[in-house]
Amino acid sequence: MLQSIIPFISNHPILSLTWIVLLVALIVITIQNHFSTVQEVSRGEATRLINKENALVVDTRRSDHFRKAHLPNSINLTPSEIKSGNLGDLTKHTAHPIIVACANGTASRESAEHLNKSGFDNVVILKEGITGWNTENLPLVRRK
CATH code of the domain containing 98 = 3.40.250.10
Clarify whether residues 30 and 91 are in a common domain.
Answer: no
pTM of the model: 0.79
Clarify whether residues 17 and 57 are in a common domain.
Answer: no
Residue pLDDT, tens place only, 38-75: 889 999 999 999 999 999 999 999 999 999 999 998 99
What stretches in the chain show pLDDT beneath 50?
none
Residue 4: its pLDDT value, please?
83
- CA dist 14 and 116 (Å) reads 40
Q: Are 60 and 101 in contact (CB under 8 A)?
A: yes
The length of the chain, given as a count of residues = 144
Clarify whether residues 22 and 51 are in a common domain.
Answer: no
Residue 94: its pLDDT value, please?
83
Which structural domain, as residue segments, surrounds residue 54? Answer: 39-142
- CA dist 114 and 48 (Å) reads 24
- CA dist 126 and 19 (Å) reads 28
One-letter amino acid at 30 equals T
Clarify whether residues 30 and 83 are in a common domain.
Answer: no
Residue 19: its pLDDT value, please?
93
Clarify whether residues 61 and 118 are in a common domain.
Answer: yes
Residue 144: its pLDDT value, please?
63
Clarify whether residues 86 and 113 are in a common domain.
Answer: yes
- CA dist 38 and 115 (Å) reads 10
Q: Are 116 and 37 in contact (CB under 8 A)?
A: yes
- CA dist 120 and 91 (Å) reads 9
Residue 14: its pLDDT value, please?
94
